[in-house]
Chains A and B, each alone.
Chain A
Amino acid sequence: MTAIDGPGRQPSPDRAAGPARDAPRWVALVVQLFPGGWRVRFGTEFAALLEATPLSPRVVFDVLVAAVDAHVHPTGPRRRWPLMIERLRLFQLTVFVSWVVFVVAGLAFQRMTEGAPFNAVAADQPAVGGPYLAIVGGAVVSLIMVVLAGVPIALAIARVASAQRQWRPLGLLAVPPVALAVWIGLTLVLIAVGSPPVDGPWRTVAFLTWVGVFVLAAVASTVAVGAAALDADIDDGLYRRATTPAVVVAAAMAIATVAVAAWGIALAIGSPAIFWGSDGILGSSTPLTWLAITIAMAGASAFAVRAAFRARAEVAS
């Protein structure tokens, strides 16, 4: 038995939050006597210790006095909490949220450049086509890394929630697929209603609705996944292993952002007539749309890079 081994009882890794399901009921009741902040910080490990401690009047008295003391003399989460792993989780969530913002801006860029004039320039001018390929490459790499890091975490959250019959995390994890289904359904409806294509105000309203629902779905999905991840108490190793993908995501975002900036500069130099035109989103100014997209991507990338390297520093420490 090593220094950190305990008694023979070995809970499974999935029983990671609060008292175990087969724990004596008194354990859950006793933990509830402590202040909320204290429970968040110590509740799980305290419950594990209680489960391993034979119940006696002395233990009951000891715990009751400690509960009163914790209320009278609170030791604050304000000073040293959250723990390293909670900071790590927060940094990785920051990378994820930044990536979602980056994706929305990237889709706007893709929407703007899918027209004929941009495709023709990209094909003719390597200075424009090259950055475009870098943007696509950055997007693909970042997507693969987010899936590699995020899917094991989401599966672990779902497994723990199922084992403990907690429906809230499962509901939160269901938000992204439901939101995606709603958006795809709306897209199909708009295609059906707008066929054959019509111009005028209807087209603008339909497009804004389509974009608005997409952004709403992205925000709802991001908030839901973030809430599920912050609430869950899963194996810390999953968050540690997500650090390298998070660094790669941030690096890919930064490279793609530089490529978007380079694309605009190359277009302005090589094809000024197209650059200074009005081929932005909904016929808006091309340079302003490009500038707005570049700023959004740069902001998201800066947040992601900072959070990824802070996550890396946490793991290294």
Chain B
Amino acid sequence: MYRATMHRDTTARSSNRDPGLLILASLAAGPRHGYAMVEDIARFGGARLGPGTLYGALARLDEAGLIEALDATDRRRPYRLTDAGRELLSGEIDALERVVLTVRDRLADAPS
């Protein structure tokens, strides 16, 4: 379901710019609300998610049970990873790691 729904985001053009994955990665450090996620993702991911992209992805992650909302404070609602979200994030990171290692090896072995 995650894959079927996440890649509708208009700003997602590559796997490391997938808003859903970036949000999951941001929440891996602990609960955050929308603005804090945008700032955190801009720092570590190099992509500044628009408000619409962020909430489109949040809605789908929430529906898929990968994140859950906490009580709002001052109109800002923090979210946190669920166990399913943490598991999926681990799997995605492992897959990305395999891709990175494979490509590095191939680039190193490739004739210049």
Contacts and interface: CB of A to CB of B under 8 A. Distances in A.
The SS class assigned to the A binding surface is helix
B56 to A, nearest CB: 5
Interface in A37-96: 38, 41-42, 44-50, 52-53, 58-59, 61-67, 69-70, 73, 75-76, 79-80, 83-85
B62 A80 contact: yes
Contact of A49 (B55, B62, B73): B55
A38 B74 CA distance: 19
**Count class of interface residues, chain B:** 35 or more
Nearest to A74: B59
A20 B62 CA distance: 25
Given A4-B32, A75-B59, A80-B65, A62 B53 contact: yes
Contacts, number: 111
A52 B54 CA distance: 14
Given A38-B59, A44-B72, A69-B56, A49 B51 contact: yes
B31 interface: yes
A262 B78 CA distance: 50
25 contacts: A3-B36, A4-B31, A4-B78, A6-B33, A20-B75, A44-B75, A44-B77, A45-B34, A45-B75, A49-B34, A49-B54, A50-B51, A52-B35, A59-B50, A61-B50, A62-B53, A65-B10, A66-B56, A69-B52, A69-B56, A70-B56, A73-B8, A75-B63, A85-B71, A236-B72
B36 A46 contact: no
B33 A236 contact: no
B47 interface: no
Interface of B: 5, 8, 10-11, 29-36, 38, 40, 50-56, 58-60, 62-63, 65, 69, 71-78
Contacts of A306: none
A185 interface: no
A79 B5 CA distance: 15
Contacts of B63: 75-76, 79-80
Instruction: Across the A-B interface, give the 7 residue pairs with the lowest CB-CB distance, nearest first.
Output: A66-B52, A62-B50, A6-B35, A63-B52, A75-B59, A48-B75, A236-B71
A12 B73 CA distance: 10
B52 A62 contact: yes
A11 B33 CA distance: 15
Contacts of B62: 75, 80
A15 B8 contact: no
Contacts of B34: 45-46, 48-49
A258 interface: no
A183 B108 CA distance: 88
Contacts of B74: 10-13, 16, 48
A75 B75 contact: no
A200 interface: no
Given A41-B59, A69-B8, 17 more contacts: A3-B36, A4-B32, A4-B73, A6-B33, A6-B35, A11-B74, A11-B75, A12-B74, A44-B72, A45-B72, A48-B35, A48-B76, A49-B76, A58-B50, A62-B51, A75-B60, A80-B65
B50 A4 contact: no
A199 interface: no
A111 to B, nearest CB: 43
A22 interface: no
A7 B39 CA distance: 10
B50 A3 contact: no
